[in-house]
Every structure is written in C-alpha cells, then in structure tokens.
A and B are shown apart, each in its own frame.
Chain A
Amino acid sequence: MARYVMAVDTSRCMNCRACILACQQRNGLRYGYYRNWVRRTPDAGSPSGFAFQPGSCMQCENPPCVAACPTLATYKGKDGVVRVDKERCIGCGSCVSVCPYGARYRDPVLGVADKCDYCAPSRALGLEPACVQACATRARIFGDADDPNDPVAKILAVRKVTRVEPPEHSPKPTQVYLGETKPTDWPRTTALAAPLAMMHVVAGAVRWLGALSLFGVVGVFLKELVLPSGSGPRDPDKTA
C-alpha cells in the first residue's frame, strides 16, 4: 500500500492561486469554499515583500478530527490520507472545530464535512491531485513516500523538512515543507467541542451503570436458580 505524502517548497510559490482554483474545479466545490489555501506573510527578505505558504489538510498521523468524529465518518486510510465518508457523516462539525489547521468546513448544502483528500476520485484514475498538476512552479510535490523511485521520496531523502504544527500536542502532520517556511506558529491545539467531550463522560457512565445493571440482573437470576427465595404463603402463584 502506498503512503501518500505531499511536500511543499514554499520558496517556489508565487501566490498565483492556481492550486486553489484547480481544486475547486476538479472537486466541484461550492462557490466561496476552498479545500486549500496560500498564506501570505509580510517578509522583507523576499523579493515580493511577502512569504507565501501553500497548504491544505496536513493528513496528520494522529488526526484530531478522527478522534473527534462520533461516527468515524472521518478516518485515516491505509494510504495515509484522511478522508470523509459522506454517507456516515452527520454534520456535527466537531472535526471542523477541532482541526488545528482549519482545513475543514461543513458543506452548506449536503451538511457534511468536506476537506482535501488529495483528489481521491481522480487519483483513482491515475491523475495527480489538481493542485499539484496546476502548479506552474512545481512547488507541490506529491507521491508515495515508501516508493524509493518516487519523486517525493527522492526529495524527502535529500532536503531538510519543516513541519508546521501546534506548539503542544502535535498531531504529526504528514504534509511537510521543504527547507524553511514562514510562518510556523499559526496552528492551534483546539479542545474537543463541549457536547462531544461530555459524550465521553456519558459513554463511560453508561458503560459502568449498564454493566452493573446487566450483571446485577444475571447475578440475581443465577441466585434464584441455585437458591430459590422460597415459596411462602406470599407467593402469588401458589395462592392464585
């Protein structure tokens, strides 16, 4: 099984935003919604005066969105890509709020979560992700990190890699940057939404109380089999 990884060389990005449009077109996104982005930061050292940083879902190794999803509609595939099963998604949005990168949104019409899946449908046809194909300067490099002949594996072997991650509880992003990138301090660890955090507590309480109730009943049932409580005059079957 391939392990898909994207490496982004931000020094090549010139903020043409073709990747954003290509993604919208390929995936038929609704007007005004994006699966990827280019961050623009003032940078005196750059010829344009700005540092550009393309990004999208970081396809984390420990994705907080998967842990936050009550139905596991969001899952991490064996190929390393975090995906949304739209049939299972109930649109609770807990993945949207918990993502440190803001890489998700709730589709306003379908009411389900939407995010980058490295163009899974067209990838199945043998195409590269739209953002990779559209990039004029080849700032985005995509492929199978486990295949030593793959361009992404070759470049990861020789270039310094920077991970943009929150300062604490890093979800271990697998989308990486080659060399230096700016800024690196923007992702934020976000707590699970209160109702879902409370569902952990309720699930635990029901687990213990349910077990108590079930095993209590089984215990009383077995006790009655072994040591019947007797048929005194109060037993209605006898007096009926």
Chain B
Amino acid sequence: MIRRHTPSAIFMHWFNALCWLLLLASGLALLANPDMQPVGAWWPRLWNGALGAGGLLDLHVTLGAAWLAVYVVYCLLYLRREVLPFLREIFRLTPGQDLAWCLRKGLVLTLGEPAMRRLGLNPELPPQGFYNAGQKLFAIAAVAGSLGLVLSGVLLALSRGLTDAENLVQWALFVHLACAGIVAVGLPVHIYMAALAPGEGPALRSMFTGQVPEAFARHHNPLWLTEPDGPGVMRK
C-alpha cells in the first residue's frame, strides 16, 4: 500500500462534500422562482415546509460561513504542505493528452472497449499522474466555482447594509447560480466515477484510509509513481 491522501486532506474532502450538498440543496430551495433555478417549484416548497423561509436563509448563510471559515483556517495552516501542491497538481494540464483521456474514458464508459475496438477506436487511456484528466477538470471547476461562490456569497450576505447595491446584488446572484451550476453538473459524474464505477473501490477506500494498493496506483496513476516528488515523498 502507498499513502495517497493525508488525514487533513481526507477530512477536508468529506467536510467539503457535506457542506456542498447541504448548501446546494438549501440554495436551490432559496431560489424559489421556478424560472430562475433548475429543479422546479416542488423543491423550495419541500424545504420551506420543513424550515420556514427565514430558517432556510439562516441555515444557508450559517453553513456557508462555517464552510468558508474552516477553509480559510485550512488554507492558512496547510498552504505549503497541501494547498499549493494540490493547486499545482490540478493545473498541470497537458491539453492533448487530457482531451484524449476524457474522450476515450467517456467512450469506454458508454460504448465499452470491445465496441470501440470494433469501430476502430483506440480505447487505451494515456498514462495519468496523481490526478487523471477528469479529476483535474472537476477539481478546477470546483476550485473556480467555489471562489466565485465565496465572493458572490459574502457579497449577498453582507449586501443588506449596502445602499444602491441592487445591481451588484443582482450580478452576485447570477454568479452564485452559475458557479453552483457548473459544479453541480459535474457532481453526479464525480460521485459515480469515485464511488460506484466498477474497479474504483480502492480509490473510494483511499478517501477514508489514505492508502491505495501499489498495483492500483501503477494502473491508474503511473506517472505519479515515477515523479521525483511522487509517493516516495508522501511516504515520509
């Protein structure tokens, strides 16, 4: 077994997941106008019945503030050890290889390898580093989306005291919805690939134990294993 995730990164992943799901659910419930949100009027009604309108807004803002506070503390404490290496890793893009990986992986999932071979398509995936191309894309969307959500969310939460802020509030609301939407669209794919897809069990388990089998890493992340700051460094 080799170490893939630190305990702090594991904690932040699950803390983030919980906050994200609750904030997404309550946010879509706050946006009650069915023309301005994607799920329809039944969802806001469900939540309003449970919490009341004021309670829902309080929950959303409190949860958002707690999420932001924990992230700020984490980023300050682990900036050099985890945050910057994580950002370097997800922005280490190789457009041609990444695109090939995403397209082939999508076809492998939907058509299957035999069908691809019959059609004369190459189902072999380009070798990947610590994150595969799909993970990098989703992580970039999540980081960028979260930054947009934080900026617009703080503005929305504080805008009650501002005068002549209507235009700013309207744009913040738009950014808030767009950023949440981008990540929400990717969320089902992330959950499937990490938790439900056949053969991905070790990856899911590693989000609890921090360890992956060496053979699994060799298959999924061969470039990571040969990197100078690869798992050898993480093992220390």
Contact = CB atoms under 8 A, between A and B. Distances in A.
Contacts of B54: 87-88
A202 B179 CA distance: 10
Given A87-B54, A108-B163, A221 B35 contact: no
Interface stretch (B2-10, B63-71, B142-150, B189-197): B189-197
Contact of B166 (A85, A96, A205): A96
A227 B109 CA distance: 11
A127 interface: no
A235 B166 CA distance: 56
Interface string A184-209: 00000000011110111011111101
B204 to A, nearest CB: 12
A48 to B, nearest CB: 36
Contacts of B191: 217
A97 B53 CA distance: 24
Given A92-B170, A93-B169, A240-B213, A200 B36 contact: yes
Interface string B177-207: 1100100111111011000111101100000
B156 interface: yes
Interface residues of B, number: 55
B170 A240 contact: no
Nearest to A225: B198
A81 to B, nearest CB: 18
A38 interface: no
A2 interface: no
B160 A198 contact: no
A237 interface: yes
Contact of A203 (B38, B171, B188, B192): B38
A239 B159 CA distance: 57
Contacts of A224: 197-198
Given A202-B177, A240-B213, A90 B169 contact: yes
A196 B185 contact: no
Interface stretch (B25-33, B82-90, B95-103, B226-234): B25-33
A216 B197 CA distance: 13
Contact of A235 (B53, B170, B199): B199
A112 interface: yes
Contacts of B192: 217, 220-221
Interface stretch (A65-73, A129-137, A159-167): A65-73
A236 B112 contact: no
A93 B162 CA distance: 12
A87 B57 contact: yes
A122 interface: no
Contact of A206 (B159, B184, B198): B184
Contacts of B198: 224, 228-229, 235
A41 interface: no
Interface in B124-177: 156, 159-163, 165-167, 169-171, 173-174, 177
30 contacts: A67-B35, A70-B173, A71-B33, A87-B52, A88-B32, A88-B54, A90-B169, A91-B160, A94-B170, A111-B160, A111-B161, A111-B162, A193-B166, A193-B170, A195-B171, A196-B174, A198-B174, A199-B173, A202-B174, A207-B39, A213-B188, A217-B188, A227-B112, A229-B108, A234-B219, A235-B198, A235-B199, A236-B213, A240-B213, A240-B215
